[in-house]
Amino acid sequence: MVESIQNISDDAAGGSIESWIRGAFEKAFPGHDFGAVRVLPATDAKFGDFQCNDALKFKRELGVGNPREIAQKVLAAGGTPDFAEKLEIAGPGFINITVSGAWIAAQLAALAGDAHLGIPQVGAGRRVVIDYSSPNAAKQMHIGHIRSTVIGNAIDRIFRALGYDVIADNHLGDWGTQFGILIKGYRECLSAEERANCTVADLEKAYVASAARAKEDEAWKGACREELVRLQRGDAENRALWERFVQISIAEFERMYAKLGVRFDTYRGESYYNDMMPEALARMQAAGLTEESEGALIVRFEKEGLPIAIVRKSDGGFNYTTSDIACVASRVKDYDPERIIYVTDDRQQLHFRQFFIICERLGYSVKLVHVPFGLMSFAGKAISTREGNLIKLDDLLEEAVRRSLEIVRGRAAASGGEAPSPEAAPATPDQLKLAEQIGFGAVKYADLSHDPATAVDFSWDKALALEGNSGPYLQYAYARVCSLLDKAAAAGASPAAEFDVATVAEKRLALQLLQFGATVRRAAECYKPSVLADYLFQTAQLYSSFYQNSPVLKSEPAVRDARLKLCSLFGQVLAKGLSLLGIETPTRI
C-alpha cells in the first residue's frame, strides 16, 4: 500500500529550483495549475544536474503544439535565478539545469549545519504506531523472524528521524489454543529439572511432544482442551503458568533484540485485547457488519471481492481478526495515532485487507498500513522444518560473529597484527565487539537492501562481501573516511571552514549528499528501507570515484582542506544513514 509520493523534492536540494521553475511556468502561462511540475536529478551528467520534463506534459492543456516553445517561454519568464550556471532546452522540450559551484557550496553548508543533517522534520507533532517483530510466545525465534524485526526496526528509526512520535509495539502471539497443548506438555513431557529451569527451548520441546500426542490420542487432546478452558476461565494455576511462559519468552526475545539494537515501547500481545473482544464484536454488530452463518458470525466483502472473515467462531470463541479489531480500538483510544503500520510476511495480506476494511466500515479514520514482506530463503533453499534449515536466530547471529571474526583477524594479521587462526589465541574484546558490529550489520543489510515486497535469498558470501552492495562494504567505506581524517589531523590538516566544489567528481558527490533528507523521507513514504540502502550504496560509490580521481592529502593545502570538508560530510551522511538502518559504524576496521 504505497501512498502518493508528493512534493518529495520540496526538501531536496532541488526544492528551491522546483519552486523557481513552477513560478516561471505560472508567469509564462497564468491561470493554470502547475502543482505537478517536478524537478528531478538529471539522469545523465550530459543533461546538466537537474532536469524538468514537464513542458511535454502540459502541451495539451496549454494548447501549444511544440513543447520546446513552452520551455522557451518558461525560461524567458524565469529570468536568471541565483542557482543557475546554465539553463538549456534540449530534445523535444526538456529543460536542463546546471547549478553553480557556489550554490552547491551554500547548500552543503546548510546541510552540514543542520542538526538533522537535512532530514525534514515532517513528522513533528504526528504519532504513529509501528507493530513489528511480534513473534509467537513459547517458540524460539528463527531466521524467519528476522525480516519483520529488521525491516520494522528500520522503519521505526526512519520515522523517528523524520520527527514522528513513534510507538513501537510488539504484538506478541501470546494467546490461543496452543496454550492448552503447552500447559499439558509442560506438566507431563518435561522433567522436574526442566520445569524448574525452564527455557524457551524447553517450552518448544513440551509443545511439540504434546501436540504429537494430541494427534494420536483423543484423551490427551481432550485434556489439552480442558487446560485451555481452565486458562480462559482464569484458573489461578494455569494463569500463573501462562504468565511464566510469556515472561520466559519475552526475556529470550529481548536477548535477541539487544543484539540487534531493537527496543520496543510496549509489549502488548494478543492477550492484552482479550477482554476487549466482546465490545469490538458488539460494535461490528451495531454497525450491521455481521451476519450469522452456520452458527458463526461472519463479515462479507462482496464489493471488494474478498472471501468472508469469521469474527466469532461457532463455538463462541474469537479469533485473530476480532483481536486485531479490538487492538485498533485500543490503540486509537490510548495513543490516537495518525497511522498504524504493521510489518508481517505477505501470507497475512488477506487478513490485513479484511480487517482494514472492517475498521473503515466502523468509521475509524486512523490510516492503517500493511507492509508485507516476502519470505527469506537460505542459499537458494526455502527455509522450512522439512528442509532442516529452520535456523535459530540465535545461531544465525552467532555464526555472523564467528565469520566476521575471521575477517577481522585476517585483516589484523595482514597488517602485521596477531595470528588469524581462531584456535591460536582467543579474540580480544575489541575484536569481538568489531565482529559483532560487522556480523549483525551484514545480516541486517542483506535483508534491508532488498525491497521488502520481494523474497530474499540469504547467503553468507553476499552478506559478508567486502566488495559490492553489502553492510561490510559500507562500514568499511566509513572507516576509511575516519582514517583519512585522522591521518590529515596527524599531518596538521583539518577540513576547511567552507565548502568548495570544483571538479565534476566533487559536484556529483555533493549533489548526491544533498539528496539525503529527501531520500529518507521517500523511504518512509513508501515504507521501504531499501530506498535508503540503495542511496547509501550509490553515495559510497560516488565517494569512491571522487576519491580515486581526486587526491586529498597530497593536494595543495586549500584544495586538500576543501576536499577534507566534503569527505567529512560524506562520513556524517553515511553514518547517519546506516544508523537509520540499525547498522553500527565502527571508526576502524
Q: Which residues bind ligand ARG (CB under 6 A)?
A: 131, 134-136, 171, 173, 324, 327, 342, 344
The partner residues of 297 in beta bridges, in order of sequence, read 292, 312
CB of 132 to ligand ARG, least distance (A): 8
Name the residue among 572, 564, 548, 576 with its Cα closest to residue 498. Answer: 564
63: alpha, beta or left, given left = phi > 0 and alpha = psi -120 to 50? left
CB of 344 to ligand ARG, least distance (A): 5
Query: Would you say 136 or 503 has its CB closer to ligand ARG?
Result: 136
553 Cβ partners below 8 Å, 6+ apart? 484, 487, 488, 491, 493, 560
CB of 169 to ligand ARG, least distance (A): 8
What count of other Cβ atoms lies within 10 Å of the Cβ of residue 332?
Answer: 16
CB of 174 to ligand ARG, least distance (A): 9
CB of 264 to ligand ARG, least distance (A): 13
583 Cβ partners below 8 Å, 6+ apart? 440, 441, 444, 445, 471, 474, 475
Q: What's the length of the chain? A: 589
Q: Which three cell numbers stand for residue 238?
A: 494455569
CB of 432 to ligand ARG, least distance (A): 32
Residue 517 contacts residue 121 (beta carbons within 8 Å): no
Residue type, 184: K
Name the residue among 73, 131, 50, 531 with its Cα closest to residue 339. Answer: 131
Q: What is the dihedral of CA 20, 25, 29, 33, to 10 degrees?
A: -100
CB of 138 to ligand ARG, least distance (A): 12
CB of 133 to ligand ARG, least distance (A): 8
CB of 171 to ligand ARG, least distance (A): 4
225 Cβ partners below 8 Å, 6+ apart? 180
CB of 247 to ligand ARG, least distance (A): 17
Query: Would you say 324 or 500 has its CB closer to ligand ARG?
Result: 324
Q: How far apart are CA 351 and CA 311, in angstroms?
A: 12
CB of 445 to ligand ARG, least distance (A): 24
Q: How far apart are CA 473 and CA 16, in angstroms?
A: 34
Residue 150 contacts residue 582 (beta carbons within 8 Å): yes
CB of 350 to ligand ARG, least distance (A): 12
What count of other Cβ atoms lies within 10 Å of the Cβ of residue 480?
Answer: 18
96 Cβ partners below 8 Å, 6+ apart? 42, 47, 48, 50, 51, 86, 87, 88, 89, 90
Query: Would you say 74 or 369 has its CB closer to ligand ARG?
Result: 369
Phi, psi of 457 (to 5 degrees): -105, 120
Query: Would you say 170 or 550 has its CB closer to ligand ARG?
Result: 170
Cα distance between the two ends of the chain: 40
Q: Which three cell numbers stand for residue 372?
A: 508485507
Query: Would you say 340 or 477 has its CB closer to ligand ARG?
Result: 340
Query: Would you say 134 or 149 has its CB closer to ligand ARG?
Result: 134
Strand ranges inside 36-126, DSSP E: 40-41, 50-52, 84-90, 94-99
Residue tagged 480442558 (cell numbers): 226
Q: Which three cell numbers stand for residue 47?
A: 543533461
Phi, psi of 128 (to 5 degrees): -130, 145
Q: Cα 546 to chain center, whole Å? A: 29
CB of 139 to ligand ARG, least distance (A): 9
CB of 267 to ligand ARG, least distance (A): 12
336: alpha, beta or left, given left = phi > 0 and alpha = psi -120 to 50? left
- The angle, 0 to 180 degrees and rounded to 10, between the axes of the packed helices 529-549 and 429-448 is 120
Query: Would you say 352 or 546 has its CB closer to ligand ARG?
Result: 352
Residue tagged 512520535 (cell numbers): 165
Strand ranges inside 184-336, DSSP E: 290-293, 296-301, 306-312
Query: Would you say 93 or 173 has its CB closer to ligand ARG?
Result: 173
Query: Would you say 371 or 542 has its CB closer to ligand ARG?
Result: 371
Query: Would you say 37 or 327 has its CB closer to ligand ARG?
Result: 327
The partner residues of 90 in beta bridges, in order of sequence, read 94
Q: How far apart are CA 256 and CA 360, in angstroms?
A: 36
Query: Would you say 9 or 344 has its CB closer to ligand ARG?
Result: 344
Query: Would you say 279 or 418 has its CB closer to ligand ARG?
Result: 279
Query: Would you say 135 or 439 has its CB closer to ligand ARG?
Result: 135
CB of 266 to ligand ARG, least distance (A): 12
What count of other Cβ atoms lies within 10 Å of the Cβ of residue 589?
Answer: 20
Query: Would you say 328 or 477 has its CB closer to ligand ARG?
Result: 328
Query: Would you say 151 or 482 has its CB closer to ligand ARG?
Result: 151
Q: Which residue sits closest to ligand ARG, CB atoms considered?
A: 173
Q: How far apart are CA 83 and CA 102, in angstroms?
A: 8
